[in-house]
Amino acid sequence: MPEQWPNLSNAPIIEAIIEFQFSVSDNVTIEMLQEIADVLKPDFPQQEEKRSSIIKAVIKSSGPETEVHDSGLVGISAKSSDDRNIVQLFRDRFSFSQLPPYQNWELLEEQAVKIWNVFLDKTKIESVNRVGVRFINRIELDLPMDDFNDYLVGAPVVPDGLPPFLGAFDMRLIIPNKDIEADGIVNMSMNGLDKEKNVVPVILDVDVGKTGQMKSDEESLHQTLVGLRNYKNELFFRNITDRVVRKYQ
């Protein structure tokens, strides 16, 4: 039974993402992605082609130069009219993102799977090789503050003998979970003050993913997503203190 975590009615989530990756197949063409984008257009009218470029450094008689070669269309990005929901369609992956205000996990999964089923109906993909859940949080620490450890568990500590101030930091942890056969990646960073709000913004980016051959149907993916979501919550709440929880409840 997963641990019950507090409900944050004002969660500091700036982007919530569900992603499915799969092997590139001749069955998934750019034309097919465009057909899917056309089906989604009533709900995702803002559409943009994604192109790939190769940058090469070349030496010419006049000196070194950089050449950019267009590798062509690789995918399509589609956004809702209110700019809150984003779908990314590629030949090897699919993702659904939700921007603030975040509502709840059930709605996020429901919307992602609904669009994924449209994708499946066209592409006939039978399996995926990675399922990912990523939540990017912007935690605002009110000034004045004395110690990052009052807010963040495992925040970096300045060694004794040095000026006791942090101008910025960037930490990355990879924490495997053998129970669900997934990896959790936690990126925590701070890059100075937000003077307008008089806060120290900290980005807590939690990305949990499971790799391996998995069925692509809705029920199979739901079971995987449940485990990833629970582990994502554990990584988030074990990296913050009660002081942060109270701020966003």
Helix (H, G, I), strand (E, B) or coil at 33: helix
Residues of the chain with confidence (pLDDT) below 70: 1-2, 53, 56, 58, 60-61, 63, 67-71
Region for 74 from its dihedrals, namely left if φ exceeds 0, alpha if ψ lies in -120 to 50, beta otherwise: alpha
Strand partners, 78: 47, 87
Let me know: does 50 contact 73? Beta carbons within 8 Å.
yes
Which residue, among 13, 160, 169, 21, has the nearest Cα to 95 in the 3D structure?
Answer: 21
- The DSSP-derived string for the chain is -PPPPPP-TT--EEEEEEEEE----TTS-HHHHHHHHHHHTTT--EEEEEEEEEEEEEEETTEEEEEEEEEEEEEEEEE-TTS-EEEEEESSEEEEEEPSSP--HHHHHHHHHHHHHHHHHHH---EEEEEEEEEEEEEEEESS-S-GGGTBTT---PPTTS-S--S-EEEEEEEEETTTTEEEEEEEEE-S-BTTTTEEEEEEEEEEEEEEEEE-SHHHHHHHHHHHHHHHHHHHHTTB-HHHHHHH-
Does residue 240 lie within any of the structural domains?
yes
Does residue 112 lie within any of the structural domains?
no
Does residue 224 lie within any of the structural domains?
yes
Does residue 195 lie within any of the structural domains?
yes
pTM (two decimals): 0.91
- Return the structure tokens found at 237: 């709440």
Which residue, among 249, 245, 241, 226, has the nearest Cα to 2 in the 3D structure?
Answer: 226
- For residue 166, the model assigns a pLDDT of 86
Does residue 186 lie within any of the structural domains?
yes
- For residue 161, the model assigns a pLDDT of 94
Any idea what the Cα angle at residue 69 is, between residues 65 and 71, rounded to 5°? 160
Strand partners, 16: 98, 135
Does residue 75 lie within any of the structural domains?
no
- For residue 153, the model assigns a pLDDT of 94
- For residue 226, the model assigns a pLDDT of 97
- For residue 3, the model assigns a pLDDT of 77
- For residue 1, the model assigns a pLDDT of 57
Does residue 171 lie within any of the structural domains?
yes
Does residue 64 lie within any of the structural domains?
no
Structurally, how many domains does the chain consist of?
1
Give the strands of the sheet with 199-215, arranged side by side.
46-60, 63-79, 85-90, 93-98, 13-21, 127-142, 199-215, 182-190, 169-177
Domain that holds residue 226: 1-23+130-249
- For residue 165, the model assigns a pLDDT of 83
- For residue 68, the model assigns a pLDDT of 64
